[in-house]
């Protein structure tokens, strides 16, 4: 009996010793694994701490609005340190092979399907954090019906200089273009350096210029000549027989759209709603939503937010925000030209003076109605 009890005691002791040994072994294993983990984390942190941020930022020019099938070339730059980073282009929906193209320059043909696309240019180098820039692109098709919301007219004129056709309507005593002028000057010469061009397409995209028209400085638009009286403006960039609107022309339009007591330099309430069209690309409105201006386009004048250029066309801006059109008015000093504008968040029509050479907006041409 006592032997059996002692055997049981010894057996339990051996089990407990074995268990204690296993616990100690497991604790040492846990400590070892934890040490390795902490070492790896420490190495990772040390590696991260040795990385530097690039100096400068990735920049590239790419039109915001392009036509289906249009070929676009872009060039990435902007990083000053390190001196020779690797540039690459990434897009999951623009048909770039394997979604990535390495190189500072990219030439790509736009998809045949209208829609919204994105592209990213990035720079990377050993020992540095990556730097990148994203750009959104709207691909549109005129013939494919991706542009909607513009009124049409049965009256069409042809510009004899380049055979471009424009829809026109009568308002009061005048005929008005209901499209922005697209005239680019003498572009027949095959040598680009010898072409006598005028105006700029928005973001230098000639394709989108087919819808937005071109942007001109006041001096380009008017031929540096002010005008006054009904249809008494200079021809400027308009076709023969047509002219840049005067103060009297704009007032005649206002009274034709909504008769009232208007003065040129006052704000014209509600006319912005009557004069602007609810233009949309691929079912997406170009004017941002605003309850202040529903863009009824009841006059069929087709005002669109085609933006402007600044700094002698170094900067293009305000597309989708403002529609702006020259008048042939200059200020008392003769150094500034005048345009009328409509802002997306307001139903009024206002006016403003700017530099005659460095600032560019759209042109509508007028002539006396027969």
Asked if 186 and 302 sit in the same domain, the reply is yes
Instruction: Give me the pLDDT at residue 92, please.
Output: 79
Instruction: Give the domain extent around 132.
Output: 55-140
Asked if 14 and 113 sit in the same domain, the reply is no
Pair 136, 116: CB distance under 8 Å: yes
Instruction: Decide if pLDDT at 151 tops 60.
Output: yes
- Which of 329, 302, 316, 133 is CA-nearest to residue 218? 329
Q: What angle do CA 273, 116, 301 make, to 5 degrees?
A: 20
Query: Which residues neighbour 220 within 8 Å (Cβ) at sequence distance 6 or greater?
Result: 198, 199, 236, 237, 360
Asked if 193 and 291 sit in the same domain, the reply is yes
Asked if 263 and 194 sit in the same domain, the reply is yes
CATH number at residue 69: 2.60.40.10
Q: Residue 80: pLDDT band by 50, 70, 90 thresholds?
A: very high
Instruction: Decide if pLDDT at 119 tops 50.
Output: yes
Q: pLDDT tens digits for 261-293?
A: 999 999 999 999 999 999 999 999 999 999 999
Asked if 66 and 121 sit in the same domain, the reply is yes
Provide the edge-to-edge strand list for the sheet that holds 350-355.
Answer: 322-330, 336-343, 350-355
First to last CA, the chain: 134
Coil, helix or strand for 138? strand
E strand or H helix that includes residue 352: strand 350-355
| Adjacent-strand bridge partners of 138 | 65, 116
Asked if 278 and 330 sit in the same domain, the reply is yes
Question: Who wins on pLDDT, 262 or 95?
Answer: 262
Query: Which residues neighbour 248 within 8 Å (Cβ) at sequence distance 6 or greater?
Result: 228, 229, 230, 232
Mean pLDDT of 104-122: 92
Residue that finishes a domain, picked among 100, 116, 140: 140
Asked if 289 and 156 sit in the same domain, the reply is yes
Question: Who wins on pLDDT, 167 or 188?
Answer: 167
Provide the edge-to-edge strand list for the sheet that holds 366-368.
Answer: 156-158, 165-171, 174-177, 366-368
Asked if 272 and 170 sit in the same domain, the reply is yes
Q: Residue 10: pLDDT band by 50, 70, 90 thresholds?
A: very low
Instruction: Give me the pLDDT at residue 206, please.
Output: 87
Asked if 360 and 234 sit in the same domain, the reply is yes
Asked if 37 and 62 sit in the same domain, the reply is no
Q: pLDDT tens digits for 38-56?
A: 545 454 555 556 889 999 9
Asked if 154 and 136 sit in the same domain, the reply is no
Asked if 222 and 262 sit in the same domain, the reply is yes
**What predicted TM-score, i.e. pTM, was given to this entire model?**
0.81
Residue that finishes a domain, picked among 95, 121, 140: 140
Domain count, the chain: 3
Query: Which residues neighbour 319 within 8 Å (Cβ) at sequence distance 6 or greater?
Result: 64, 65, 202, 212, 286, 305, 306, 307
Pair 121, 100: CB distance under 8 Å: no
- C-alpha–C-alpha distance, residues 343 and 335, integer Å: 25
- Which of 358, 361, 352 is CA-nearest to residue 305? 361
E strand or H helix that includes residue 74: strand 71-75
Residue that finishes a domain, picked among 89, 121, 140: 140
């Amino acid at each position: 009996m006592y032997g059996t009890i002692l055997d049981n005691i010894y057996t339990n002791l051996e089990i407990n010793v074995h268990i204690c040994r296993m616990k100690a072994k497991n604790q040492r294993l846990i400590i070892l694994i934890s040490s390795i983990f902490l070492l790896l984390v420490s190495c990772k942190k040390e590696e991260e701490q040795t990385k530097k941020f690039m100096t400068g930022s990735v920049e590239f020019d790419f039109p915001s609005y392009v036509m289906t099938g249009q070929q676009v070339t872009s060039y990435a730059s902007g990083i000053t340190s390190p001196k020779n980073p690797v540039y690459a282009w990434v897009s999951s929906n623009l048909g770039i092979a394997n979604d990535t193209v390495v190189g500072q320059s990219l030439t790509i043909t736009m998809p045949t399907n209208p829609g919204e696309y994105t592209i990213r240019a990035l720079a990377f180098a050993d020992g540095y954090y990556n730097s990148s820039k994203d750009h959104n692109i709207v691909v549109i098709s005129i013939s494919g019906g991706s542009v909607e919301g513009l009124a049409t007219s049965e009256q069409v004129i042809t510009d004899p200089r380049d055979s471009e056709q424009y829809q026109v309507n009568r308002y009061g005593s005048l005929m008005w273009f209901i499209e922005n002028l697209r005239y680019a000057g003498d572009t027949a010469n095959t040598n680009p350096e010898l072409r006598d061009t005028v105006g700029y397409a928005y973001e230098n995209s000639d394709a989108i210029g087919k819808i937005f028209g071109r942007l001109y400085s006041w001096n380009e638009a008017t031929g540096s000549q002010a005008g006054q009286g009904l249809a008494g403006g200079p021809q400027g960039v308009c076709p023969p027989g047509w002219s840049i609107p005067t103060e009297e022309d704009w007032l005649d339009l206002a009274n034709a759209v909504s008769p009232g007591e208007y003065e040129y330099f006052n704000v014209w309430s509600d006319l912005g709603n009557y004069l602007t069209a609810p233009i949309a690309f691929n079912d997406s409105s170009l004017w941002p939503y605003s309850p202040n201006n529903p863009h009824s386009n009841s006059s069929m004048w087709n005002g669109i937010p085609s933006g402007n250029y600044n700094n002698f066309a170094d900067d293009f801006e305000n597309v989708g925000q403002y529609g702006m059109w020259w008048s042939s008015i200059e200020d008392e000093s003769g150094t500034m030209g005048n345009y009328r504008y409509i802002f997306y968040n307001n139903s009024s029509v206002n006016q403003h003076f700017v530099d005659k050479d460095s600032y560019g907006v759209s042109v509508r041409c007028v002539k006396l109605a027969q």
